[in-house]
Structure 1
Amino acid sequence: MPAARRLTLLALALSSSVFAAQIGTIPPAESLTAQRVAALAAAEREPWAAYLARSDAQRVADRAALAAERKGLETLPPTPAGGHSEGSMPLDKPAAWYASEAALLVARNILSFQTPAGGWGKNQPRDAASRERGQAYVADNNSKRATAGDYDLAHDPQWSYVGTIDNDATITEIRFLARVAAQFPGEAGEPYRQAAQRGLAYLLAAQFPNGGWPQVWPLQGGYHDAITMNDDAFVEVAELMGMVVRGDADLGFVSPALKTGAAAAEAKALQLLLAMQIRVNGKPALWAQQHDALTLAPQSARNYEPPALSSTESARALMYLMSLPHPSPAVVAAVKGGVATLKALAVRDLAWGKVDDAEGRRLVKRPGAGPLWARYYDAVTLKPIFGDRDKSLHDDVNELSLERRNGYNWWGSGPSKALAAYDAWAAKWVKDPS
């Protein structure tokens, strides 16, 4: 029986409650620490030690800047409101809109919330009020469901995600400022150009020596220190670097030094992306949602997010690789292997959705439905796996708690777009598409 057929039958079998079991516990991710860096070989140790020192120094400087602002204030401003951030910074409006008062309100808000390091926090509507003196740089991103021992519990709830690429943060702010600056080529646009370039310098400073990016910088610890593919963060930063090099997306104003840095950053990121692709039976397969910064092994994130391969993030990585104008043989092999794996894992005649209020979302039989992919797969067996908020790991999504079944996209059709794009790409670049 062909391998693709075997994998499809395996995925179908695992969706049945007959095989259901709790198969383990999701471990915490490892932080990037001085102790871990000290254990590296001498040749690798120096750049990582320098990186940690730079992160530590920037964190101290960021905190000192806020403390200086607060000196003499009798009452501290309230923590800024959270909310949907990306929707308040649209990048697809007609060019003239970015000269409007509505766009300038957003741009001024973005300037006011830029951290001393040059990045931005997440989950803040940018069409709200600008930051006040002494106000925190970010909204309260501490999980409202977190309890003692929760992987998502910030050590300091008042200092969490202070500079991040999660949820499109920093990337979107830079691109929005570039669009506004394009409407003000003279002195009036200079603050927006300078802030965008500070944001780019922040991303270059945050890049790991091996080419990856953590979710939060300066480093925050825990899974935030991992190379973050989640929500396409790594790929979107790499794409932004390519835009800078080409002068796309109204980024033609970027300084030559930053363009040189962006070119080097994207090249390193590409090489790391190829190195991170997990091999199964010796062949390139998929990527994890997070990879350890030093070992590149899959890492856990939140309580219910296991160290596993991710179909959604892998599909987005493949789309990025297929967008490269001159793919190397290594890139071609990576795309071919990733697409073959996704094709093999697709399941049909199953649907993921709400059954009723009592049952919530479940995976059910539905002739003609699909294809679907699980969010996570074991990195060795390629079996679908699912996590619950109590850190338990399962092989059947239907046995998760109602809260986690309803609150997470455990199955989806996301990879379909990458598979649809593959045939045209393969006709040009793959000598043997089988």
Structure 2
Amino acid sequence: MQDSTAEKMLVFQRAIGGWPKAVGNEKVDYKHPLSAADRTRTLADKGRNDATIDNNATSREINYLAQAYQKTNNPAYREGAEAGIRFLLKMQYANGGFPQYYPDFSNYRHQITYNDNAMVRVLELLRNVARQKAPFVGLAADLPAQAQTAVEKGTDCILKTQYLRKGVLTAWCAQYDEKTLQPAKARAFELASLSGDESVEIVRFLMGIDNPSPEVKKAIESAVAWFEKVKISGYTVKEIAAPQEKSGRDRVMVPEAGATIWARFYELDTDRPIYVGRDSQVHYQLSEIENERRAGYLYLGTWPEKLLSKDYPAWQKRVSTGGRG
């Protein structure tokens, strides 16, 4: 049996095992028809070095192919998923971190990348492989143990990169230097800073660890304390019409009783919310950066809300009663 989406994924899979998120300026979209000419042209690109874990690339294909294999028993889909998993294992640094791209290390692509949950998404997938959790059953016998080792290394990297300030653990930056494990800058508007967004999924990943160590528990509890410390109470963000702007819209921070939001970026040594435009200059008010960034990028949000209100209390209860993390 064949699955049309899985067939397209195999066409786009690079020789190294991973997948691109885009070809040129066009995003990879498996809902888009693939003509014979497109197929031939894409297969000719197999040797390109644009495989990435950004924007869910590679993870989504591995997950889908593994599911398609379970439904169809088509060995090509199992082999595609296995090649993708081996790509993830190969791209991992010895210190446990994952770059955004492999083997293309240009610009900031070589940095350990938590941004947009790239590394955590990979670790979640590998943890499912290690646990042989559906749909990752019936794969090559050597993969679960290798995946488990990768998850352990990745967890160690997470613990080592949690930002320590004056002896107090806080949260995580979106990118880190892969050699020094220090917070790093990526795009012009993404300075080295603590993340009120990516740190959430990192904590959720840690809470999924069975029988968490004291170090893991401390990391979780410290991050939760940091989220509570830096929350912005009594404000929300609203999108409004702005006909005078090229975008036609704007985002503004306004008072609202009972509301709570968090900044995407916090200054490393002060915990002050920062807003940075394409000129890389730090501002402390959302209104001070250009409209293109205000309207086109989320600088404020409610990312930790469910983590604090539901996930963390549930984790505390499981751990206190001797259950798994």
Q: TM-score if structure 1 supplies the norm length?
A: 0.67
Select the structure of larger CA radius of gyration.
Answer: 1
1:106 matched to 2:13: no
**Residues 357-396 of structure 1 correspond to what in structure 2 (within 5 A)?**
357=242, 358=244, 360-396=249-285
Query: 2 CA distance for matches of 1:430 and 1:398?
Result: 44
SS in 1 for 2:250: strand
Of residues 415-424 and 226-235 in structure 1, the stretch that sits farther from structure 2 once superposed is 415-424
Given candidates 103, 110, 126, the residue that maps to 2:30 is: 126
Aligned equivalent of 2:42? 135
Shift of 1:342: 0.2
Aligned equivalent of 1:228? 113
- Does structure 2 conserve the Cα–Cα contact (< 8 Å) formed by 1:285 and 1:337? yes
Given candidates 47, 61, 72, the residue that maps to 1:173 is: 61
Aligned equivalent of 2:24? none
Query: 1 CA distance for matches of 2:166 and 2:18?
Result: 40
Query: 2 CA distance for matches of 1:135 and 1:181?
Result: 23
Q: TM-score if structure 2 supplies the norm length?
A: 0.89
Q: Which runs of 5+ in 2 are unaligned?
A: 22-26
- Does structure 2 conserve the Cα–Cα contact (< 8 Å) formed by 1:175 and 1:249? no
Aligned equivalent of 1:182? 70
Query: 1 CA distance for matches of 2:86 and 2:291?
Result: 44
AA aligned opposite 2:55: N
Shift of 1:215: 0.3
- Does structure 2 conserve the Cα–Cα contact (< 8 Å) formed by 1:105 and 1:127? no
Q: CA RMSD in A?
A: 2.0
**Residues 306-321 of structure 1 correspond to what in structure 2 (within 5 A)?**
306-321=191-206
Shift of 1:380: 1.1
- Does structure 1 conserve the Cα–Cα contact (< 8 Å) formed by 2:70 and 2:135? yes
- Does structure 2 conserve the Cα–Cα contact (< 8 Å) formed by 1:170 and 1:199? yes
**Residues 283-302 of structure 1 correspond to what in structure 2 (within 5 A)?**
283-302=168-187
Given candidates 106, 126, 137, the residue that maps to 1:252 is: 137
- Does structure 2 conserve the Cα–Cα contact (< 8 Å) formed by 1:284 and 1:337? yes
Given candidates 213, 223, 233, the residue that maps to 2:98 is: 213
- Does structure 2 conserve the Cα–Cα contact (< 8 Å) formed by 1:235 and 1:317? yes
1:273-326 Cα deviation digits (max 9, x unpaired): 100100123111100011110111111111111111111100111111111121
- Does structure 1 conserve the Cα–Cα contact (< 8 Å) formed by 2:11 and 2:42? no
| Bigger strand fraction | 2
Query: 2 CA distance for matches of 1:335 and 1:319?
Result: 9
AA aligned opposite 1:286: A
Matched residue count: 307
Aligned equivalent of 1:4? none
**Residues 34-433 of structure 1 correspond to what in structure 2 (within 5 A)?**
104-122=3-21, 123-128=27-32, 129=34, 131-135=38-42, 162-185=50-73, 189-357=74-242, 358=244, 360-420=249-309, 421-429=311-319
SS in 1 for 2:198: helix
- Does structure 1 conserve the Cα–Cα contact (< 8 Å) formed by 2:50 and 2:104? no
Query: 2 CA distance for matches of 1:137 and 1:392?
Result: 43
Q: Which runs of 5+ in 1 are unaligned?
A: 1-98, 139-158
Of residues 354-363 and 212-221 in structure 1, the stretch that sits farther from structure 2 once superposed is 354-363
Larger RCO (alpha carbons 8 Å, 6+ apart): 1
Cα distance change of structure 1 residues 216 and 405 upon mapping to structure 2, 3 Å threshold: same
Shift of 1:408: 0.4
SS in 1 for 2:8: helix
1:340-370 Cα deviation digits (max 9, x unpaired): 0001111122121223314743443323152
- Does structure 1 conserve the Cα–Cα contact (< 8 Å) formed by 2:203 and 2:220? yes
